[in-house]
Structure 1
Amino acid sequence: MTAPTPRSVVVPYITARRGEEPEVAAKLGLRSGGGLCYLDEGLGDRDDQGVLWARCSQTHEDGWPIGSPRWSMVHPSRQRETMQGLRCQVCVVQTASRTASGYLFIAARPKDTTKADWPEGALTWQPPLCLDCAVIAVEQCPHLSKAGPVALRARVPRLYGVLGTLYTTGADMRPVPVVVSDEAKDIPLPYKDHLLRPWFLASQLVRELRGVSVVDLEREIATARA
């Protein structure tokens, strides 16, 4: 979700907050066999596929993030938590809504309308939602309102890969980020790319939606309440 309308008060769990800062790049190093590592690497720094994840501090009060929202950014750990566990990205306390048609995701209608198979096989780094929070997302997210929100059910939201930053070895034998275009920044790295995977610092988990159907969100809400 991006910036809300002025009347909104709900800040999604995954939204980054003021005071939450990325780990300094000085703690990144190179593994002896090639690839990235943290100089003080510990458990949880890598996912099940062996990809290194960006560190970022968290500000909490009673288990909930605090601080002014940074609407254009998501927190790496909280995005990973909700996407990995298929929990609601807004409230986190609930698992994502799931029916016989699959898990609930809200997507913006793509600009490229020539993709006849969309949304089958769509890649998303927006975690799923529970029904109540899906209503909030549709009402409050300007990006969705502008593009036109689409409610999707995916029976198989399989793990695909990650978004983040690709690194290489610099002149001083330290890792340095690879310069890419703005368009390339939004191209996920598939987990099956074993060549680049060791050199990638992940910041968002990506799923590929399979067995997808477009649903009427208002009708589903009415049915659930009935």
Structure 2
Amino acid sequence: MTLSEPGVAVIPYVTARRGEEPELAAMLGFRPDGRGLCYLDEGPGDRDDQGVLWARCSQAREDGWPVGSPRWGLVHPSRQRETMEGLRCQVCIVSPASRIARGYLFLATRPQDAAPPDWPEGVLSWQPPLCLDCAAIAVERCSHLLKYGAVAIRARVPRLYGVLGTLYTTGADLRPVPVVVSDGAKDTPLPYKDHLLRPWFLASQLVRELRGVSVVDLEREISTARL
């Protein structure tokens, strides 16, 4: 999410920064039983609760907050996972995501192709939720939302679905190598229920399936909250 305008920039907590670099692929290996990926020096924080291995990336911080020029359009794997797991605002993180009786607040854009009749029920989101204050900024400044039109969604059940990332296989040198996929398949999440591929996946973003969804009037909600 890009929140900028001339002379002013609000950099979301999840946005990757200059100087933050991914861990070298040389650290990847295979489990002792050969049934999936591991880090050669793997620690307890390298996997999520579903046992999926996560991409490592350095973090540039001062006083606990990311620093450095933003790399707009890119998200930091650990910070995206942190906000999505905890359902905290992806922009400021100091606030929990806005939640009322109708559910948690997410922002989306309508599909470019024909939307299913029940859209956005069941939509898959790897954009973490937001607090109301940051949502107000996002709809005014996010270039993607401005281009395609923001849709405010309340989801009563934002259930964990799976992950985005890279599928690996065994290369000719008996080292892990990424599986080549088409551009259209790069943004296809791997469901956690896929037990066959899950051990071979290196995750970079957490995905939730939004259920119990309703489209809401964000301006009205913001106005009501400010009263």
TM-score range, shorter chain: over 0.9
- 2:111 is paired with a residue of what secondary structure? coil
**Runs of 4+ with >4 A deviation:** none
**Is the 1:5–1:142 contact (alpha carbons within 8 Å) kept by the matching residues of 2?**
no
Distance 1:92 1:9 in 2: 17
| Residue number in structure 1 paired with 2:17 | 17
Deviation at 1:112, TM superposition (A): 2.0
In the superposition, the TM-score normalised over structure 2's length comes to 0.98
- 2:183 is paired with a residue of what secondary structure? coil
| Residue number in structure 1 paired with 2:61 | 60
Deviation at 1:10, TM superposition (A): 0.4
| Residue number in structure 2 paired with 1:183 | 184
1:150-195 per-residue CA deviation (whole Å, 9 max, x = no partner) reads 0000000000000000000011111000001111110000000000
1:65-84 superposed matches below 5 A: 65-84=66-85
**Is the 2:126–2:208 contact (alpha carbons within 8 Å) kept by the matching residues of 1?**
yes
In the superposition, the TM-score normalised over structure 1's length comes to 0.98
**Is the 1:151–1:216 contact (alpha carbons within 8 Å) kept by the matching residues of 2?**
yes
Corresponding letter in the other structure for 1:206: V
Deviates more, 1:73-82 or 1:139-148: 139-148
Q: Unmatched 5+ residue regions in structure 2?
A: none
1:200-225 per-residue CA deviation (whole Å, 9 max, x = no partner) reads 00000000000000000000011111
| Residue number in structure 1 paired with 2:96 | 95
Aligned residues: 226
- Does residue 112 (structure 1) correspond to residue 113 (structure 2)? The answer is yes
1:40-51 superposed matches below 5 A: 40-51=41-52
- 2:9 is paired with a residue of what secondary structure? coil
Deviation at 1:54, TM superposition (A): 0.1
Deviation at 1:8, TM superposition (A): 3.4
| Residue number in structure 1 paired with 2:226 | 225
When the two chains are superposed, the root-mean-square deviation of aligned CA atoms in Å is: 0.9
- 1:144 is paired with a residue of what secondary structure? helix
Distance 2:180 2:212 in 1: 36
Deviation at 1:32, TM superposition (A): 2.3
Q: Unmatched 5+ residue regions in structure 1?
A: none
**Is the 2:3–2:138 contact (alpha carbons within 8 Å) kept by the matching residues of 1?**
no
Identity of aligned residues (%): 79
